[in-house]
Amino acid sequence: MMSRNLLVYAVGGLLMGAAATLFESGKDYSAIPPQAREVETTLRGRPVDLAQAIQTAQELTGGVVASASFDLNKGGRTIDVIVFTDGAKRRLIFETTGCSVESDVMVPRFPGDSVQGDWIETDSGLKYFDIVEGDGPQPAGPSSKVTVHYTGWLVDGTKFDSSVDRGQPTTFTLGRVIGGWTEGVGSMCVGGKRKLIIPYDLAYGERGSRSIPPKATLIFDVELLEIIEE
């Protein structure tokens, strides 16, 4: 049953062949990992330690620190602190010479376009938010061919594929893609935009794929541009 829901490779490269996008943007992959003693020396040489950064973050925000870590890619010169406060998640970046805040940003629950309120959940377990309600026609069924723009992320915010980034929308038959797309896009109207939260059993299953980890929940922002009549 899963095989009929797997994405057809020929459909514009959707979800497949995108392994390179799993790499962190801007990270130096040419650097050899340092010796543990080098890291220890670097961290001991910082005038501000993690405990001080945590204390400062809690005093500034009144929240609870969930994690704090040195950015070793920057020689331990900054500390990344995640704080939960006032029902929101914040990320504070401290510089380690005086524990001053370099940046303080809100971290959304989901990547991509912001959403409000509660999601809609279907009987299959698919969840979605309607970002924009379309006012055009709705696909007739799995045999419908549609054109969409989309961006896909893993739950940690890693972007793995995007027709938007390529500047080229994708066209496919609804019945020849993963089940979460068949259902989620199939119930949209042209002109609509939706955030799909697709459980692994409606995506790439327990084994994953070349660019998707096993049992991965996938998050997409999808805009339905056109239904192609044949």
The residues annotated as belonging to the active site are 150, 160-161, 178, 204, 220
Contact 144, 195 (CB under 8 A): no
CA dist., res. 26 & res. 71, Å (int):
13
Residue 196 exposed, middle or buried by CB count within 10 Å (0-12, 13-18, 19+): buried
**Type and span of the H or E element at 106:** strand 101-106
Which amino acid type is present at position 85? T
> Coil, strand or helix: which one is 181?
helix
Contact 182, 129 (CB under 8 A): no
For the chain, give percent helix, strand, coil, nearest 5.
20, 30, 45
Contact 204, 178 (CB under 8 A): yes
Contact 139, 186 (CB under 8 A): yes
Residues 6+ apart with CB under 8 A from 51: none
